[in-house]
Structure 1
C-alpha cells in the first residue's frame, strides 16, 4: 500500500532498467527527471491533451522550473510507483505539477518534486495563454493546503 502525500494521485509503474544505474550503483539523478517527464506525459495523454492536440492548437507545455528532493536511492530491477498531481493552474499561462516516487517493495518515498510548466506556441517557443482545452484539461487534481 503506497503512502501518497495527496489524494487523487495519477500513478505510473516503472521498473528500474540497467541503463538507469550510474557509477555509484544506483539510479542516476537525471533518470528521476526522466521518470517525472514520463508521468507528466502519461497524465497529459490520459487527460486528452496529447501531442496531436498540442500540434493542432500550436500550443504545448514546457518545463520552466523544477525542484527535486532526493530522499533515498533506487536500484536496478526495483519496481517504482511514480505519482503526479496538478496542484496549481493560474488559468492564464502556467500549471504546477507535483511528483512523488515510491519504492513498491517497502513503500519508501524516494523523491518529491515539483515543476512549473508554461504554455508556449510550438512554432515560436514564446509564452502564450493556455487555450480553453488546456484550461479545461489541466484542472487542479489536489491541493497542498
Structure 2
C-alpha cells in the first residue's frame, strides 16, 4: 500500500527526519520544542537551496530573524516515525518582512501532524536593526504559487 502525501502547496522544499528517543518528552511523544527546531532546520535548508546561507547574509550585511511563530500541533508523533518537513515562502512584502509556512507530514499514514508559520524580519547584521531587504532577498524569497 502506498501512502499519499498531500501538501498544502504544489512544490514545498522538503527534508526527511526520523523521530529518535532524544526528541521525546516525558509523555513519550515528540516534544513540542523539537517541532520548532525542525522548522528552523528546514527553513535554513530552504534558504541555502536558494543560495542564501549565513555566509551570504554576512556578505550582504542582511539577515532574517524570527519575530513570531505560530505552530498548530495536529497529532502526536513517536520514536521511529518518519516525517517529511515542508516549507515555503507564503508571503513577502519585499521590504522588511516575510511569512514562511511549514507542514510536517508523517510518512507512514500521510497525516499532517503540524502546520505552522513564522514571520521573519530583515535586519542589518551589524546593528541588529530592521533593514530593507536587499534585491537578492526579494528575488529568492518570493511567495510560492498556490493552486
TM-score, length-scaled by structure 2 = 0.94
Number of the residue aligned with 2:136: 133
- Distance in 2, matches of 1:6 and 1:41, equals 19
Number of the residue aligned with 1:98: 101
- Distance in 2, matches of 1:20 and 1:125, equals 32
SS at match of 2:38: helix
- Distance in 2, matches of 1:95 and 1:64, equals 10
SS at match of 2:44: helix
* CA-CA distance at 1:93 after TM superposition: 0.6
* CA-CA distance at 1:42 after TM superposition: 0.3
Number of the residue aligned with 2:34: 31
TM-score, length-scaled by structure 1 = 0.96
Does the CA-based 8 Å contact 1:2-1:104 persist in structure 2?
yes
SS at match of 1:82: strand
Q: Deviations over 1:37-67 (max 9, x none)?
A: 0110000000000011001111110111111
Q: Is residue 2:15 matched to residue 1:12?
A: yes
Number of the residue aligned with 1:62: 65
Q: What is the RMSD computed on CA atoms of the aligned residues?
A: 1.1
- Distance in 2, matches of 1:76 and 1:123, equals 41
Moved segments of 4+, more than 2 Å = none
- Distance in 2, matches of 1:142 and 1:75, equals 33
* CA-CA distance at 1:142 after TM superposition: 3.3
* CA-CA distance at 1:72 after TM superposition: 0.3
* CA-CA distance at 1:33 after TM superposition: 0.2
- Distance in 1, matches of 2:145 and 2:27, equals 35
- In structure 1, stretches of 5+ residues that fail to align are none
Number of the residue aligned with 1:117: 120
